[in-house]
Structure 1
Amino acid sequence: MSIERSFRDARHTRADLDSLAGSLARVAGLQDRFELRTRPPEGAGWQRCSDLLSDPRRFAAWRGRLAEWLSAEYGAAPSRTAAGYVMSWYLRVPAYLGALLLHHERRVPSLRPEELAVRIAPEGRPDPVGLAVLGESFHCLPLDPGSARPEATVVADDHALADVLRTRYVAHAARFVRAYGAVCPLGPRTLWAAATDALDSCLWWVGRQGGDEGSGVADAALVLRSRFPPLTAASTLRMATTDAGGRTWTRTRESCCFTYLLPGRAECDGCPRTRGKQV
């Protein structure tokens, strides 16, 4: 049973609703990318992020599954393409959870690898299909209804909350860069560029999914209001003119997904390769 349905079908106290689990229940229906959990069932494909980071063989197995899928779909599986997909998919785990709760609840959970879990699709394309927050602690604003809870840490304003999200995300990403960089053909600059893309994109996506794209863009501008090394850029979201003359939000990528290495594929729009940037 999903977390959203479990809250809908059972009686819960106000304390339950003010908890981090209550936040996840509320935001679950405002997105359609992932199954959201607080206590995922044992097995069933769920893995703690810390287990992935501490055992490079898990990343090798993940990339091996992806290489098989790429070979079946495209007739080839370049090592950098497989490595690039897993890189981007993994970084979206802490980025998406942090962005989702910041945008809708003005809360930031612990993003430590020990307190997050991911479920990889068991069949077909092996991308993440489930995300879990295993801890109960969170940062919030003074008027948050759960601000008096023992697991809550209150910060002064939106700027301070954005700083908490960025700091926690960077700490998680740093562990990923060290662990994955030791077993993949991609360098630290590429990995940190991908980390920047994941955070900027996820803040944008959750606004769009929730029906207020401009608010998501504003969150990205708040969290990435300038470059915060080792992240490689401030938010690159901007307005652009479509071929039909309309206006739309778009962003410039910092990292390459290496899809262009697949047969018959070219660089994506906004790829740094087309701008002569190092990837």
Structure 2
Amino acid sequence: MNQQRSFRAAQEVGDGLAASLLRVSGLQELRRDVPDGWIRCADLLATPSRFDEWRGRLGTWLRREHDAAPDRTTASYVLTWYLHVPAYVGALLLHHERRVPSLKPEELAFRLADDQPHPEGMAVLGDDFHCLPTDPGSARPEATVVRDERALAAVLRARYLAHAARFVQAYAPAGRLGRRTLWAAATDALENSLWWAGRQGGTPEAEGAGVADAALVLDAVYPPLTSASTLRLVDGADGTREWTRRRESCCFSYLLPAEPECDGCPRTCARRPGS
């Protein structure tokens, strides 16, 4: 759906959350229903053994690509991919619409890609959202108005944390990763999603707006998240300034044959004093 058609469709459904999803649909497949084969987040968390099935599909793909599928690698990939769903839905709508939907597991679903089994499509099933006083949909019954952007950022942070806490509780026994690792990954997923929502705009100004969103949402350390925003400007290889961040979690890709540690891996990068 091109952007012009998205805006026309959004006007037809009124300025509720469905309209917001249509307006950003060119950036991410977003649905309002759960077709056959899609996974409801709440169903997955209620039956943690399904994470083993997901890791099994991932292991098949990794063995095809790398001739190996270490347990810690599959556990970390699934950890990161799952957390991307609530983090990215929240970041995308905050960045483009200045709205925060419910991020409850009951109101989110996703579809795994056929090849590399990562979340490729997402569904937002609820209607409620928080917004600013100037939002054109602020008078709708499903809208909750907050005073300013800082308050809206706090809503996003709280809703994401609530979803992540339920995931950590469900996934910890299956993933067999430490609590600090789980929350470090949750921190990375949130900041990366806020940054990426800006980078998708394709301009330095759009990326800078995503960085500003990350600084707004993660202006301090909010335990059990492990860090405030670490995005900063550095000199790139071509001499231009570019944004980078300090990763909090390890993806364990280095356990795959002939794969080195990723740039910024916390295993090899010293933390700055006071960070």
- How high is the TM-score relative to the length of structure 1? 0.92
Is the alpha carbon distance of 1:5 and 1:191 closer, same or farther for their aligned partners in structure 2, counting shifts above 3 Å?
Answer: farther
Partner of 1:58: 50
Is the CA contact 2:10–2:20 (under 8 Å) kept in the aligned structure 1? no
Match of 2:269 in 1: 275
* TM-superposed deviation, 1:185: 2.1
What SS does the aligned partner of 2:34 have? Answer: coil
Any conservation in 2 of the 1:120–1:127 contact (CA below 8 Å)? yes
**After TM superposition, which residue ranges in structure 1, 4 or more long, deviate above 2 angstroms?**
2-13
Contact 1:115/1:133 (CA < 8 Å) preserved in 2? yes
CA apart distance, 1:7: 4.9
Change (3 A) 1:193 1:17: same
Post-superposition Cα deviations, 1:249-279, rounded to whole Å, max 9, x if no partner, equal 01110000000000000110111000367xx
Aligned residues: 268
The answer to whether 1:19 aligns with 2:6 is: no
For residue 230 of structure 1, what is the aligned residue in structure 2? 224
Aligned residue for 1:178?
169
Q: Is the 8 A contact 1:3 1:25 kept in 2?
A: no
Which residue number in structure 2 is paired with residue 120 of structure 1? 112
Q: 1:253 is paired with a residue of what secondary structure? A: coil
1:135 equivalent in structure 2: 126
TM-score by length of structure 2 reads: 0.93
Give distance in 1, aligned partners of 2:176 and 2:34. 32
Paired residues for 1:39-78 under 5 Å: 39-41=33-35, 43=36, 45-78=37-70
- 1:147 and 1:251 mapped to 2: Cα distance? 35
Paired amino acid for 1:120? L
Is the contact made by 1:181 and 1:188 (CA closer than 8 Å) also made in structure 2?
yes
Q: Structure 1 residue 28 and structure 2 residue 22: aligned?
A: no
Letter in 2 for 1:192: W
Q: What stretches of structure 2 of length at least 5 have no aligned partner?
A: none
Question: SS of the residue aligned with 2:219?
Answer: coil
TM-superposed CA distance for 1:40, in Å, is 3.2
Name the aligned partner's letter for residue 88 of structure 2. Answer: Y
Matches within 5 A, 1:89-168: 89-121=81-113, 123-168=114-159
Unaligned runs of 5+ in 1: none
CA contact (8 A) 1:3 1:38 kept: no
Equivalent residue letter for 2:131: C
